[in-house]
Amino acid sequence: MSFVAAERQGAVEIITINRPEALNALNADVLGDLKAAFEAVDQQAVRCVIVTGAGSKSFVAGADIAAMSTMTQAEAEAFGKLGNDIFRMIETFPLPVIAAVNGFALGGGCELSMCCDFRICSENAMFGQPEVGLGITPGFGGTQRLARLVGPGMAKQLIYTARNIKAEEALRIGLVNAVYPAEELMPAALKIAAGIAKNAPIAVRHCKQAINEGLETGMDQAVVIEEKLFGKCFETHDQKEGMGAFLEKRKEKNFTNC
């Protein structure tokens, strides 16, 4: 992979968009490498994934405008489908995915962060969907995920005005969970990921599935989804180990993802 680096620290996989000379802008090659990086994750050994950008200036500054500028309508639709298919794969990836946003997250970068389970960012982070200023709409899910995350009114204002917002405002409107000094961002992401990784991986994965699928349906069906996934946790080693540790009043737990 030329444009994406992958590194494992314990049970945490760090996937880094590695095109700093272009502020990690997305083109078809970068998207292909991002897909390959997720497909290569060892889902038995890894329990949480962090996505970030190389360098100190940018998470992902957006899609590659130079590459898009000469596209035909058909080519643009195909490019949008490529991005949407990969971002949807990340959104439904069985493991939790944290976006550690270290700088610009504009256009496709904001969209990439939003397909992760949640976002934390550095104080110099900047979010926005500036596409209407370029004569286009967001194309990688921005009109859909932003409205779901911050509400349709706020999403429409941000998208229609093409206004970028700083980290503090992103926190205020609920787009990010926390803001850190730049040098503390990755340590904080790793600490959160380690906290997730110590819990029963089957249960964590089922929680992600229940939340994602439940949000896409009505409450009557959503609670049925939860019931089924709740039941699937039982008769697993991890359920017996977790409850056994509680009953035996021991802190040590040996979760094995089975």
Catalytic site positions: 111, 131
Q: Strand order in 58-60's β-sheet?
A: 58-60, 104-106, 126-128, 165-166
d(CA 54, CA 154): 30
The 3-state secondary structure of 155-176 reads HHHHHHHCCCEEHHHHHHCCCC
Half-sphere exposure for 132 (CA within 13 Å, toward CB): 13
Q: Which two tokens stand for residue 155?
A: 């999403």
Q: What angle do the packed helices 219-233 and 201-215 form, to 10 degrees?
A: 170
Can you list the alpha helix ranges (DSSP code H) found in the chain?
28-39, 65-68, 73-91, 108-114, 142-150, 152-161, 167-172, 182-197, 201-215, 219-233, 237-248
